Structures are given as structure tokens and as C-alpha cells.
Chains A and B, each alone.
Chain A
């Protein structure tokens, strides 16, 4: 597979993955741009791999983690969430819940966020996530379980507020 063929097949999925990680399309674009440029320079080696897509996806994950380390001040501002776009053709209750969840995801610690995205967006198994994050399967389960508990708690508290109203 040539680098151009790889880009044609995978660039958009990398951008979508990065957007779920960063909760910000602009950061996602920056991260993917950095990764793709590096992948292009190393394509002689990456292109010969059995699954170059998986390798570059891992590069995006690592870039997201290191990006966050380099720029500790990054957090998702409310206006960034607003930029995520208007919802279309959906049930209003679900939209409210979704917005609460998206805000909750944006506040998760970075490794928990990666674990949640890999599990629920890319449908990866615990073992696959462990390889991606370079940790044990038990640690992955802990990340996912804590993240889910946090997100559910956020959702429940909003529902209680709605009930009181």
C-alpha cells in the first residue's frame, strides 16, 4: 500500500478518532497532521507492516497523550463543545443526554478517555486496548470502569436536576 492509498483509505477515520479523543476538531486536525507527516517520513517501514492503519492509529493515541502532556493548559472550553455542531434528526431527550455525556468525556483523565473511546467507538477488546495503551488488561478494565462510573454519575445528577424542575 502506498502512502497516498493509505491516506485515501484512512485519513478521515483517523480524524474522526482524533476528534473523539480531543473533543475538539481543531486539535484533532493538528494531531493528525503531525502524525501523518511523521508517518509519511517513515512510510518505507510503516507501509510494509501487516496493519499500517493500526500502527498509525496508535501514533494518534500517543500523540494525543503526549500532546496533553506538553500542553497541560488544554481543557475543553464550553465554546469548543458548542463548535461540535448542531444535532440533526434526533430525539431531543437523547440530545440532552448526549451533550452531558460529551461534556463528561471531555473532562475524563486522558487515559480513561482513550480507553472509553477505544472501547465504545472503535469497539476494541480489553486486550487490544492494553496493547494500545501499553498497560495491563486489568488497568484497562479499571480505566473503563472508572470512566463509565463517572459518566453515569454525571448523567444521573443531571436527570435529578431535571426531575426537581
Chain B
């Protein structure tokens, strides 16, 4: 057995052993009475302090017992989905947070953790979904069945031609969790361990300040913030044109590549080019200078669409958007 094989086996054994850990709720339950018992032995001032701590512990343990959406610790999430991200507390070494995104209709929130830029580097995408009417509420029997934190789930591998994407899906309470990963050395145990480590993280809403004048046939689908560092945050939003394609609007702090035809946009001059950014069709990309920031609008058509049509559509989108200040994103680049 080669050294790297042995080390993989050793890591797998330790991961397996770690997965047998008792529930945190048991420790909390054991802690609360001990705290109360010790209170009797403390001086009066200590009694007051311990009382406050005791109340905090009791309220904490109550909240742990209310709901168990996908975690072994049984932490109940705050009420508003848009304010809650499910944060991994364990990830493979080197992975940092690179994106938070949310559906504008509050049906999902997600975060992306990666160990480098681009889609070739290992990444993990955590998505918490509120399934809509008619959507599955349990695993598809035709898929590989797995247990995630004791809950029914399924394991699937996508057929993305550029790289394999593994997906762990499970249902807990009224939610579905999708945990996607790519370029991971041992994807199933890694994703199972990440799934087990998920915790709800109540945060200020990640509101991305894009507003649009009317764009015929379009609706805003999702928005987010991505980047490697807090001072390099990129705002993103996506406009869906039914049956036509998706326009992705980004506001970047750094100047993108300025190539292609010079075109009029937003009362000035922009750059338009066709680039192979998507999987199949060439993607039109329009860049405009916002004065210190850069607007990049790309279009991924569902079917072939000629460059002139794409330019018209991108120009309409670029001219219609109003962009507010980039929100602070101190979490960009942080480890779990």
C-alpha cells in the first residue's frame, strides 16, 4: 500500500470514528443541571451571575430541542430563511468561503466554499431549499440511497462534461439540502462529513443593491456576492428571460479584460465581445465603466442567438440597471 493510500485510509478511519460522536444536545442537557447545582455553592454575587448563565443555558438547550433541520446538534434556525446560511464547520483543508447567494423569492440560500479560483479547484456548494408544491419531499428510489445525519437522502453524480459534480441531497423538516462538490479527492465521505457539520448561521441579509427599470420579459432570479477577499467583493444578479436565456450582471472592483468592439452604453463607451464562457453557445459579454467599479453583463442563451441580438439585449440590461454601493462582505476568504 502506497503512503498516500495509507494516509487516505487513516483519514477515512478517523472521519468514521468522529462520525460516532455523541450529540451535542446530550452535553447541553447534562450541563444545565450541573450549572444549577453549583449555583448553591457560590457567593451571592456569583449566584446572580450563575442564574443569568443558567437562564442562557436553559434557553439555549430549549432552542436546541425545537427543530432539527439536518444537523446532529439540533439547532433551530431563525425564522427568516433569507437571513440564515447553513455554514459548514468542517471542510477539507484550504477551503474558504467565496460566495453567498439567495433566490429573490426566498426559496433558497447558498454558499460556495473553494480552495482556489475557477471551477477546476475543489469546491463545495451548500444550498438550503424550501421545496415548492409538487417538488419531491424525499429521495428518488432510482438514485443511490444514503443516510445523512440519520435522514433519508440520495447521492448523485452529474454529467457535466467539464468536471464531475457530486451531489448529496437530503430532506429535513420543511427543507431540502443540496450539498454539491467537485474535484474532491474522496467525495462521498467528504460531503457526508460536511453535511454533518452544517450549522445555521443567522446573518444580516445579503441584499445586493441592484434595481432595474422595466426589462421586457425578464425577472430577477437570484443575487449574491462572491470573491476571494472582502475588499474584492463582486456583486452578482441574474435576470431570466423566459425561453431565451439568462443575463448575469456583475459589478467588480477590478478592471476586467477590455477587448472587443467599442459600443455605446450608459451614455459612454463600453466593450462587447463574444466569448466561450458557457458550455455550448458563445456568450456575449458587455463591459461598462462605472467610475471606480466595472459593470460586466453576460448572456447565456438557451439556444443559439446571434451576436447582434445578444448585444441589443445586453445593452438594454446594462442601461436599465442602477447599482448601489457594494455591501461589506467580511466573510469572503474566511475558513469555516
By a beta-carbon cutoff of 8 Å, the part of chain A in contact with chain B is 2-4, 7-13, 15-20, 23, 25-26, 28-29, 32-33, 36-37, 40, 83-85, 87-89, 94, 97-98, 101-102, 105, 116-117, 120-121, 123, 148, 151-152, 155-156
Q: A15-B21, A17-B18, A19-B20 are in contact. Are A98 and B12 (CB under 8 A)?
A: yes
Chain B contact residue count (CB 8 A cutoff): 45
Cβ-closest chain A residue relative to B50: A41
Cβ-closest chain A residue relative to B73: A12
A-B contact pairs, 19 of them (CB 8 A): A4-B60, A7-B28, A8-B73, A11-B73, A12-B73, A12-B196, A20-B17, A20-B18, A23-B17, A28-B21, A29-B30, A33-B27, A40-B31, A84-B16, A84-B20, A85-B20, A116-B10, A121-B11, A148-B6
Residues of B within 8 A of A10 (CB): 89
Q: Which of B203-259 contact A (CB under 8 A)?
A: none
Residues of B within 8 A of A94 (CB): 9, 12
Residues of B within 8 A of A148 (CB): 6, 10
> Beyond A28-B21, A89-B188: 11 further Cβ-contacts under 8 Å?
A3-B53, A4-B57, A7-B28, A19-B17, A20-B14, A25-B21, A32-B27, A40-B35, A87-B16, A89-B147, A98-B16
Bound Cα distance from A121 to B19, whole angstroms: 12
Q: Check A102 against B17 for contact (C-beta < 8 Å).
A: yes
Residues of A within 8 A of B18 (CB): 16-17, 19-20, 121
* Binding site secondary structure of chain B: helix
* Binding site secondary structure of chain A: helix
Bound Cα distance from A89 to B57, whole angstroms: 37
Bound Cα distance from A19 to B1, whole angstroms: 27
Q: Check A13 against B14 for contact (C-beta < 8 Å).
A: no
Q: Check B9 against A97 for contact (C-beta < 8 Å).
A: yes
